[in-house]
C-alpha cells in the first residue's frame, strides 16, 4: 500500500483492503451508471428525505461469466437449421454457465457484510443479490446516494428513490454491474380509451373487438383451444400498481367466451394481489391472454405489495432466474425509452432476456404506444426507441386497426404502434435480409438523421390493438386501445401452437425470431397500409415509418392467420 501511495494512486488490492473507509472518504470510487438519467416523472412529487433508520431492499447485479458462449447457445437452440434446435438449457445449465466467479461472490459478500447488510437472498444463477439495509447504511455504502420518498401515479404509489447518482469502490468495478432500487420509477400505463367511431347504421357490424372478433379475424375455430391435458402454460407480467379481479375475468368469459372452451380462473398468481379497484390494463392482459390462448393454464406475475424501494420489472427478472419450471410463453406490456436507461442497466437486462431465450422461453413485449417516438438531441429531433422492445432476444408485438372499424376486414397500421431502430443494440443476423430489403425499397423513409439504420429493428409481428372491450370492476369498458392488447393476443395464439407441438412430442417454440425471419413471415397477414406517428415538426410532420410488403418497422411481418401459422410452426 505504501508504494502505491508514494506514486499518488492506490491499486485495486489497496482499494479492497480499505474498502469501506476509502469509500466513505470518496476515494477509489467509480459510477456504475454514469449515464442513467434521473427525472421525476410527471405526476410524481417528493415527500422529503427518508428516515435514516428506515429499511431498504436493494438488488446488486453481480458480474456474470461466459456471455459469449451463452449467446452462441441461444443461436443454436433457436435456429431450425441447427442440430441443437429445441434442445433448451435448464436453469441449472444456465447457472453453471453464467454464475459469477468465486472472487466476485466473495468480494461482494464481504463488502456487504462489512456495511451491515442483512437478510441477503440470492437466486439460482447467483448473479443477483438482494439485501436489506437501513437508509443510513445504504447512503454510506453507495456514496452520493440520498434517499427520498416520492408519491405518484394513478394509484398514488409510494416509492423510495435517490435523485443523486451513486458511486461504488473501484475494487468492485469488475464485480458489480449496477444496484437496483435507486433511480428507476414504476412504469405508467399508456393504454388509451378512444372515442367510439361514428358510422351510420349497425346492421352486420361489430361494436368493438371481443374474443369472437379476434377468433373470426385470425381464423380460429371452436376447436382451436387448449386440451387441458398437457403441462402447457402461459403467463402475463404486470408491473403497474394495479391488478385484476377473478370476478371480472369470470364476467368477461360469461359475456364474451360462450362460443369456445375456456378457463375462467387463473392457475397461479406469483406475487401479491392488492386490495381495492382492479386496473384496466391488468384486466385486459389476463382476459385476452386467456381468451386467445383459450383453455390453457395461465399464470399472472403481479407486482402490487412489493417494497417501496424495489423495481417491479427487476423483481420479475429475478423470479425468472429462480424458478426451474416456468410457463412457455410470457407476455409483457412494459417499456422505457432507451435513452432514459443507463448502459449498464440496459445491457444487463438484455443478458437476462438472453438467459430466458436459452431456456426456451418465448418472451413477447409490447412495442409501445408512441409510434416512432420523438426526442430532441442538441436541438435536433430524433425518433425515440423503446426497451425492452428493442432487445434482440424478445419478440416484439406492434398494433393494427381494422380498415373499417366496425367490420372484420383486413388490417391497417394503428398509428400508435411502436416501432423503429435501436440506438443501443446492433441489427441481429437473423433480421439482416428483411431489414435491408425494407430500407432499400421503402418509398417513405424518414430522413436518415432520425434513426439508426444499423440498429435492431422492431416490431417483429403485430395484432389488433384498437377498440377492445374489457371488463374491469364489474363494468364492461369499450374502445380500449394499445399494444398492451395486441401482445397477449399474439402470445395466446403461440400458446395454442405450443399445445400442438407438445402433444406431438416436440419442444415448445422458444425464442421465435430466428425461425420467424427464416420463414419470411409465413403464416401471417401482411399489413401494407398506413404509417405511425412521430415528431410533430416541419421536417417529418408527425409521420414516422410506413408499412409495406414484407417486414416493416411498424407491424413487423404482420398479424396471425392462425391455421397457416400453425402449419408453419408445427413442423420440428
Active-site residues, by number, are 281, 285, 484
CB atoms within 10 A of CB 83: 7
What's the first-to-final CA gap in the chain, in angstroms?
A: 62
Distance in angstroms (rounded) separating the CA atoms of residues 410 and 561 = 11
Distance in angstroms (rounded) separating the CA atoms of residues 286 and 279 = 11
CB atoms within 10 A of CB 462: 34
DSSP readout, 499-523? HHHHHTTPPP--S-HHHHHHTTTTT
DSSP readout, 411-448? EEE-TT---EEEEEEEPPGGGHHHHHHHHHH-TTPPPG
**128 in helix, strand or coil?**
strand
What's 24-80 look like in SS3? HHCCCEECCCCCCCCCCCCCCEEEEECCCCCEEEEEEEECCCCHHHHHHHHHHHHCC
CB 529 within 8 A of CB 413: yes
Say how many CA atoms lie within 13 Å of 123 toward its Cβ.
Answer: 28
Q: Is 526 annotated as a binding residue?
A: yes
Nearest to 477 by CA among 294, 300, 281, 291: 281
CB 398 within 8 A of CB 558: no
Q: Is 527 annotated as a binding residue?
A: yes
Residues sharing a CB contact under 8 Å with residue 524, sequence separation 6 or more, in sequence order? 461, 557, 558, 559, 560, 561, 564, 565
Cell 406431438, residue located:
504
Burial of 235 (0-12, 13-18, 19+ CB in 10 A): buried
Q: Per-residue b/e over 67-78, b at no fewer than 16 CB within 10 Å?
A: eeebbebbbbbb
Number of residues assigned to the chain: 572
Positive or negative, the CA dihedral 385, 386, 388, 393 is negative
Distance in angstroms (rounded) separating the CA atoms of residues 422 and 397 = 15
Residues sharing a CB contact under 8 Å with residue 354, sequence separation 6 or more, in sequence order? 67, 70, 71, 74, 393
CB 298 within 8 A of CB 226: no
Element (H, E) at 362: strand 362-366
CA angle at 153 for the pair 413 and 253, rounded to the nearest 5°: 55
- Is the bond preceding 239 in cis, omega lying within 30 degrees of 0? no
Burial of 411 (0-12, 13-18, 19+ CB in 10 A): buried
CB 33 within 8 A of CB 178: yes
Annotated binding residues for Ca(2+):
526-527, 550, 552
Binding site feature residues: 526-527, 550, 552
Amino acid at each position: 500500500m505504501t508504494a502505491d501511495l508514494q506514486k499518488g494512486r492506490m491499486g485495486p488490492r489497496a482499494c479492497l483492503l480499505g474498502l469501506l473507509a476509502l469509500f466513505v472518504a470518496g476515494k477509489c470510487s467509480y459510477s456504475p451508471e454514469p449515464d442513467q438519467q434521473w427525472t421525476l416523472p410527471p405526476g410524481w412529487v417528493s415527500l422529503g428525505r427518508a428516515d435514516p433508520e428506515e429499511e431498504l431492499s436493494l438488488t446488486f447485479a453481480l458480474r456474470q461469466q461466459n456471455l459469449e458462449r451463452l449467446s452462441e447457445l441461444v443461436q443454436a437452440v433457436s435456429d431450425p437449421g441447427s442440430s441443437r434446435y429445441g434442445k433448451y438449457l435448464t436453469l441449472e445449465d444456465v447457472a453453471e454457465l453464467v454464475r459469477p466467479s468465486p472472487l466476485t461472490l466473495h468480494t461482494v459478500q464481504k463488502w456487504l457484510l462489512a456495511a451491515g447488510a442483512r437478510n441477503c437472498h440470492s437466486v439460482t444463477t447467483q448473479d443477483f443479490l438482494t439485501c436489506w439495509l437501513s437508509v443510513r447504511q445504504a447512503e454510506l455504502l453507495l456514496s452520493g446516494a440520498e434517499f427520498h420518498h416520492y408519491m405518484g401515479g394513478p394509484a398514488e404509489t409510494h416509492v423510495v428513490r435517490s435523485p443523486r447518482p451513486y458511486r461504488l469502490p473501484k475494487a468492485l468495478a469488475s464485480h458489480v454491474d449496477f444496484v437496483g432500487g435507486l433511480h428507476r420509477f414504476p412504469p405508467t400505463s399508456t393504454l388509451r380509451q378512444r372515442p367510439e367511431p361514428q358510422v351510420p347504421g349497425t346492421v352486420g357490424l361489430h361494436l368493438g373487438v371481443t374474443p369472437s372478433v379476434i377468433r373470426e379475424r385470425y381464423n380460429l375455430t371452436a376447436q382451436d383451444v387448449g386440451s387441458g391435458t398437457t403441462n402447457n402454460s402461459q403467463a402475463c407480467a404486470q408491473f403497474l400498481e394495479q391488478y385484476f379481479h377473478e370476478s371480472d375475468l369470470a364476467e368477461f368469459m360469461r359475456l364474451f367466451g360462450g362460443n369456445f372452451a375456456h378457463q375462467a380462473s387463473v392457475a397461479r398468481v406469483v406475487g401479491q394481489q392488492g386490495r381495492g379497484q382492479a386496473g384496466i390494463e391488468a384486466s385486459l392482459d389476463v382476459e385476452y391472454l386467456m381468451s386467445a390462448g383459450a383453455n390453457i393454464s395461465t399464470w399472472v406475475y403481479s407486482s402490487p405489495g412489493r417494497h417501496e424501494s424495489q423495481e417491479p420489472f427487476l423483481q420479475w427478472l429475478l423470479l425468472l432466474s429462480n424458478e426451474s419450471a416456468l410457463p412457455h410463453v410470457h407476455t409483457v406490456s412494459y417499456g422505457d425509452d432507451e435513452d432514459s436507461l443507463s448502459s449498464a442497466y440496459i445491457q444487463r437486462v438484455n443478458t437476462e432476456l438472453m438467459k430466458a431465450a436459452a431456456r426456451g422461453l418465448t418472451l413477447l413485449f409490447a412495442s409501445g404506444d408512441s409510434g416512432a417516438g420523438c426526442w430532441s438531441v442538441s436541438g435536433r429531433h430524433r425518433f425515440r426507441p423503446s426497451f425492452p422492445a428493442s432487445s434482440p432476444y424478445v419478440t416484439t408485438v406492434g398494433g393494427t386497426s381494422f380498415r373499417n372499424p366496425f367490420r372484420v376486414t383486413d388490417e391497417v397500421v394503428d398509428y400508435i404502434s411502436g416501432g423503429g431502430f435501436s440506438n443501443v443494440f446492433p441489427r441481429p443476423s437473423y433480421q439482416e435480409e428483411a431489414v435491408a430489403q425494407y430500407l432499400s425499397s421503402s418509398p417513405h423513409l424518414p430522413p436518415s438523421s432520425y434513426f439508426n439504420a444499423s440498429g435492431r429493428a422492431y416490431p417483429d409481428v403485430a395484432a389488433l390493438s384498437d377498440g377492445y372491450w374489457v371488463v374491469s370492476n364489474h363494468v364492461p369498458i369499450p374502445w380500449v386501445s394499445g399494444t398492451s392488447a395486441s401482445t397477449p393476443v399474439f402470445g395466446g395464439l403461440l400458446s395454442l401452437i405450443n399445445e400442438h407441438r407438445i402433444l406431438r412430442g416436440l419442444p415448445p417454440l422458444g425464442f421465435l425470431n430466428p425461425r420467424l425471419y427464416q420463414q419470411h413471415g409465413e403464416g401471417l397477414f401482411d399489413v401494407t397500409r398506413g404509417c405511425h406517428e412521430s415528431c410533430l415538426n416541419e421536417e417529418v410532420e408527425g409521420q414516422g415509418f410506413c408499412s409495406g410488403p414484407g417486414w416493416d418497422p411498424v407491424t413487423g411481418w404482420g398479424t396471425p392467420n392462425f391455421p397457416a401459422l400453425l402449419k408453419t410452426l408445427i413442423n420440428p
